[in-house]
Amino acid sequence: MASASGSPWKALVLPVLVTGLCIWLAYGAITTGMAGYHENRGDGGRALSWRANSPLALSLKAEHLTSVQDYEAADALARQALGRSGLRADALRALALSASARGRADEALTLMSRAGRLNPRDDQTQSWLFERAVARGDYRRAVLHADALMRRSPQTQAPLSSALVALLGNGEARTVLVDRLSVDPPWRGLFLSVAARKGRDADVAVLFQALKNTASPPTDAETSAFLDRLVTAGRYRQAKTYFNGLVGSPNGAAALVYDGGFTGRPGPPPLNWQAVPVPGGSARWTTDGGAPRGDLLVSHDGFSSSGVMLRQLILLSPGDYELAARARIDDPAAAGRFNLQIACAVGPRLVSMTLRGAPGSWQGSQAGFTVPPEACEAQWLAIYPVTGDRREMVEMSIDDIIVRRAAIGSLRREELGWTP
């Protein structure tokens, strides 16, 4: 009878144990989930209320305490986090921030450097190390930290590029930057763009000149923004000096027009040829594969636009000059459909020469003009279409564009087709 009366209690034990286990597991899952939710939101305090010994929650709370200057409590929680997980870079960062705030610079640097080695992908750590490296003049480490940040976080590239541009005046920093830029990091293009727009002229020029001697010299696209800035500001001679430093100073007639034979000489616009997109037309001097054509091919429908198609900035001193070029056409309708003009960069047009051309053969054109003694320091050499009220696509090949000093008494202006 005793065994019979006790059997119901024994039958209840297993369900009670199973229910208790399920409740315990459910509570564990809930607390873990809630702690994880708050950790993902960066709220270490609430995460700790669900999981008191979470290393991540302890680290998050420690960092919060440093931000409100409760350094003793922050240190205690950070050390507690490290006691549970010795590889917590965030806990080391909290200790470093606390030490830095209390004036213990060497200790802070040691702790933050350890955090950086543990987690080189942590943006906050790398930013702190970058700023401290700049402050103490350790430019090699500063550039390494900036490189790590910009490779990982594209949103940091613009502000860090500005910070690095501010260092260009320091020779040591510039040397380190050139070394890093020479391996083509993914942030190179943006950095050089920021430098071209914001850097001191002399510093940027020295930077480009130094890059010229590396395995990855500056491209025409990278340097053109710098020259454009100078030209826009009216510093034409300065732009020309820097241009010659990059490409070498040409001799003879080529000194007045750069690559007038369209041989594909490297060099950034606007002191080299610059095609300007226009509706209904195009100008190109390379093949589809990028090789030089050896001449310029212009096409236009004679109707859609009348703006400049191609241009180059030249610098002519006051005096008399001759403008010459050769043209060739296949369709007689193309004769007289393009003009070669020179105008002051800020001021009047000096000459406009219509290019006639001959079907199947080259035909030369020339005209004379005078650069006035004032208000014409630089000039635009440009090609324009001749437009009308009828749409008709034509092409013309142009070559050997030359500007040269007029020989005294050799040609009368009217013979050259000069127009005031």
- pLDDT recorded at residue 252: 43
- pLDDT recorded at residue 88: 74
pLDDT digits 0-9 by tens, 131-167: 999 999 999 999 999 999 999 999 999 999 999 999 9
Average pLDDT, the chain: 83
- CATH-assigned architecture of domain 35-119: Alpha Horseshoe (1.25)
- pLDDT recorded at residue 16: 53
Which parts of the chain have pLDDT scores under 50? 1-2, 4, 21, 24-31, 34-35, 38-39, 42-45, 47, 50, 52, 252-254, 410-420
Q: Structure tokens of 325?
A: 């070029």
Burial of 58 (C-beta count, 10 Å sphere; 0-12/13-18/19+): buried
Pairwise CA distance, residues 64 & 404, whole Å: 72
- pLDDT recorded at residue 412: 44
Pairwise CA distance, residues 298 & 282, whole Å: 6
Q: Structure tokens of 88?
A: 């917590």
Q: Structure tokens of 280?
A: 């209904």
Q: Where are the domains of the chain?
A: 35-119, 274-405
Pairwise CA distance, residues 333 & 216, whole Å: 46
- pLDDT recorded at residue 17: 55
The helix-helix angle for 123-135 and 105-118 (nearest 10°) equals: 140
Amino acid at 317: S
Pairwise CA distance, residues 157 & 383, whole Å: 39
- Specify the residue for token string 């989930």: 33
- Specify the residue for token string 């209840």: 12
- pLDDT recorded at residue 60: 66
List, in sequence order, every beta strand (DSSP E) within 261-378.
Answer: 274-275, 281-286, 292-300, 310-314, 319-328, 338-344, 349-355, 363-371
For residue 243, what are the CA distances in angstroms to 181, 256, 272? Answer: 20, 13, 9
∠ at Cα 153 (147, 154), nearest 5°?
Answer: 90
Tell the CATH topology of 274-405. Answer: Jelly Rolls (2.60.120)
Pairwise CA distance, residues 127 & 207, whole Å: 24
